[in-house]
Structure 1
Amino acid sequence: MKQVEERYISFEASKMAYRDIKNSVDTAKREGIAEGMNQKALDIARNMLADGIDINLIMKYSGLTQEQIEKLK
């Protein structure tokens, strides 16, 4: 009976470790996607600035703040 309990405890610990790793990977994936989207918005804003587009329009379509756009100049 003790072996069964030990195996069960080991199995539960393994499941918890798997969940922790999966949560870490999922979080990292979401953060990476968000970072990529932000970088794309910055790239688009930089191109819009280069084309002389008004900063208010850039803010509207990029979702960036005026401060973020000003830093690109």
Structure 2
Amino acid sequence: MCLAIPGRITSICDPDPLTRTGKVRFGGICKDINLALVPEALEGDFVLVHAGFAIARIDEHQAARTFDLLRELP
């Protein structure tokens, strides 16, 4: 089973389409994430991240729902 975690893009560091990276905030943690798979994502957008790669852009409501579900886990 794979788990993707939502995070918000705070900055885009490398705009090159093949090596596009950015800072993504997950609650209080900020990580460098590869954004090459979501070329449409912009600063401030929420993305789903798996293994260091943003794999999809999602809206704020979806991100909040996912965070709520994760908080319910034991």
**Both proteins in one fold, TM over 0.5:** no
Tell me the TM-score normalized by structure 2: 0.21
Instruction: Name the larger-Rg structure.
Output: 1
Which structure: greater strand fraction? 2
Which structure: greater helix fraction? 1
Structure number with greater CO (CA < 8 Å, separation at least 6) is 2
Tell me the TM-score normalized by structure 1: 0.22
